[in-house]
Amino acid sequence: MAHTQDKSSALGQGVVIFVYLTILTITEYFVAVSFNAASLLVVMAVIKAALVMYYYMHIYKLNEESRDGEHSYAYKTGTNRLGLWLFLLSDGFVFAGLLVMRANLLGLTRPHLNQMLGLAVTAVLLISSFFMNRGETAMKYGDRKEFMKNTLITFVLGLGFLIGVVFVEWRLAADEGLVASFGNPSVGPLGGVFYMMTGMHAFHVFTGLIFLGVVWNNARKGVYSAEKHWGVEAAAVYWHFVDLVWIFFYPALYLIGTAVQ
C-alpha cells in the first residue's frame, strides 16, 4: 500500500495516527486518574503499540518481495530489515524482563512520581515520533531538506525527553525523598525498579539520539536518496521502537496501581 500512496496522503496518514495516539494517551491518563483499571490500561497500551508498529514502524514491509536480483540494493535492504527486526525482538526481551521484574517486586503499587512531568515527557516522546515519521516519509520521496528539518526537531524533542527523565525526574524523585536517591545504598525495590527501568530506556533513547545525529549528518553530506536510504529507515524504526517501549513503561511506572512512598 505504501507504494501506491502519494506524498501528501502518506504525510496525512502520519497525522491521523498521531491524533489516535494522542487521544489514547490522554484517555489513558484519565482512566488511571479516575478509576484504577490496570487491565484496561494494558489493553490501551497494546492498541497504541500496534498502531506504532504498523503505521510508523511499517512492520508489513518485512513481507515485501524484491523483484530485483540478490545483489540489488532493494534485496539487501530487505535482508537488513529482517536483521533489524530480529534485533528489536531480542532487545524487546530486555524490556519484557524489566516489566516482569516490576510486576513481581511492586505488584499493584508504584513509586510516587510527578504525574505532570510524566505526562509531559510522554507527550514529548510521542510528538518526536510524529516528526520522525514525517522525516522518513520526506526522505522516501527524496525531499532531503524536509527530512533534515524533521529529524532535527525529533532530535531536539528526544533530547528534551532525556533531560526531562534523567536530569529532572531522577532528581525530583530523589530530592522529594519519594524514591531514595541514586547511588544511595538505601534504595529498596521501589527506587531500584524505577531507576533501572527509566535508566535502561534512557540508555536506548541516548543511542537513538546518536543514531539520529549520524543519519542527519550523512543526509547533509547527501548520502541518501529516495531509492537508497536504508540508514534513515533503520534510524526511524529504532526511534519508534524506543517510543514503543515507553508506551508500556509509562503506564507501568506512572499509572498502574497505587502510589506508595
- The residue ranges that bind another protein (CB under 8 A) are 70-71, 75, 78-79, 82-83, 86-87, 89-91, 93-94, 97-98, 100-101, 104-105, 182-193, 195-196, 214, 217-218, 221, 223, 231
The minimum distance between CB 34 and another protein, in angstroms, equals 30
The C-alpha atoms of residue 169 and residue 224 are separated, in whole angstroms, by: 37
Residue 141 burial class via C-beta count within 10 angstroms: exposed 0-12, middle 13-18, buried 19 and up: middle
Taking the complex as a whole, the smallest distance from the CB of residue 92 to another protein amounts, in Å, to 8
User: To the nearest whole angstrom, how small is the minimum distance from the Cβ of residue 122 to another protein?
Assistant: 24
Please report how close the Cβ of residue 65 comes to another protein at its closest, in angstroms: 12
Give 91 or 143: the residue with its C-beta nearer to another protein: 91
What does the DSSP assignment read for the chain? -TTT--HHHHHHHHHHHHHHHHHHHHHHHHHHHHS--HHHHHHHHHHHHHHIIIIIS-GGGGGPPP-S-TTSHHHHHHHHHHHHHHHHHHHHHHHHHHHHHHHHHHTTEEE---HHHHHHHHHHHHHHHHHHHHHHHHHHTT-HHHHHHHHHHHHHHHHHHHIIIIIIIHHHHHHTTSSPPTT-TT--HHHHHHHHHHHHHHHHHHHHHHHHHHHHHHHHTT---SS--HHHHHHHHHHHHHHHHHHHHHIIIIISSEEE-
- Whichever of 26 and 214 has its CB closer to another protein, that residue is 214
Least distance (Å) from another protein to the CB of residue 68? 13
Question: Which CB atom, from 129 or from 151, has the smaller least distance to another protein?
Answer: 151
CB of 98 to another protein, least distance (A): 7
Q: Which is nearer to another protein, 15 or 82 (CB)?
A: 82
Q: Which is nearer to another protein, 43 or 260 (CB)?
A: 260
- Comparing CB distances to another protein, the nearer of 51 and 212 is 212
